[in-house]
Amino acid sequence: MGAAHPCLPPGHRPVDHPRAVGTRRPRRSDDDSRSPQLNAAPADQIRLLDLQKLDTRLNQLDHRRANLPEHAELKKLNSQLDQQRDLLVAAETEVGDTEREQTKAEQDVDQVRRRSERDQQRLDSGMVTSPKDLESLQSEIASLARRQDSLETVVLEIMERQETAAERARELASAVEGLEKTGTELTARRDAATAEIDAEAERVRRDRETVARSVPEQLLALYDKLRAQHGGIGAAKLYQKQCEGCRLELNITEINEVRAAPSDSVVRCENCRRILVRTPESGL
């Protein structure tokens, strides 16, 4: 009897050394390998390859539909459009604000002008004869003139700001219109491409239904189950001793097992567990 491990208490076993990592999985003893052997005519098994080809095409069409370049272009354009619309709203708000500000300033000018005109009429009428009142009236007329001049300067400044804001709003409105036109064109292109993809997908689905009806029920159920588990590929051709599902070559033991299996026996790849379909090109 060998000596106990010096660093472990009695009754404990040393930890196993880790296995070397490789590309090939160990032979499995899961539920699939313990399930009853499934048999199907060689022609039915080969039809799985036709079915797989159609399913792969459907997956490609789904991927193409989801990744049309127009999707990314529309997303980018809509982001730009939202930004330009926000800027347009801000510019239009500024235009409205400056218009109201200008209206108020012009009303102030008119009010001062009317008062100045009334005072001037009083002065010209000769009704004011008191030297003191005349001096006071003349002083007020001069003050009103200065006030009017100041208010008119304010009106001119507001008009300049209003004109700048209006020009900015026109530029942004034109940019928004251009982006909206581009968006309409992109949407039409996307819809046309989507319609083309959907039409092909519908034809492929009809072909799949036809092929699927010719595959035995149990074989089809296993194929669909494996396809869901293994990235859309449930059956693969054995080509020149290599599984076209996982792209690994079978070792000599696996080749001998596949070679010895009856032609109607549904065999599985020991590495990826997909259905392995034998053909004259399998290299057996």
Model pLDDT for residues 148-176, shown as the tens digit of each residue = 889 989 999 999 999 999 999 999 999 99
Question: Would you state the pLDDT for residue 122?
Answer: 79
Question: Would you state the pLDDT for residue 141?
Answer: 84
Amino acid at 128: V
Question: Would you state the pLDDT for residue 5?
Answer: 43
Torsion of CA 2, 5, 6, 10, to 10 degrees: -100
Give the mean pLDDT of 59-69.
96
Q: Which domains does the chain have, with CATH numbers?
A: 36-66+216-278 (no CATH), 69-198 (1.10.287.1700)
Long-range contacts at 54-58 (CB < 8 A, ≥ 24 apart):
54/204, 54/207, 54/208, 54/211, 55/208, 55/227, 55/232, 55/234, 56/232, 56/233, 57/204, 58/201, 58/204, 58/205, 58/208
CA 202 vs. chain centroid, Å, equals 24
Give the mean pLDDT of 26-37.
53
Is residue 29 predicted with pLDDT exceeding 60?
Answer: no
Give the mean pLDDT of 207-217.
96
Q: What kind and span of H or E run contains 277?
A: strand 275-278
Q: Is the model's pTM score more than 0.85?
A: no
pLDDT-based confidence at residue 258 (cuts at 50, 70, 90): very high
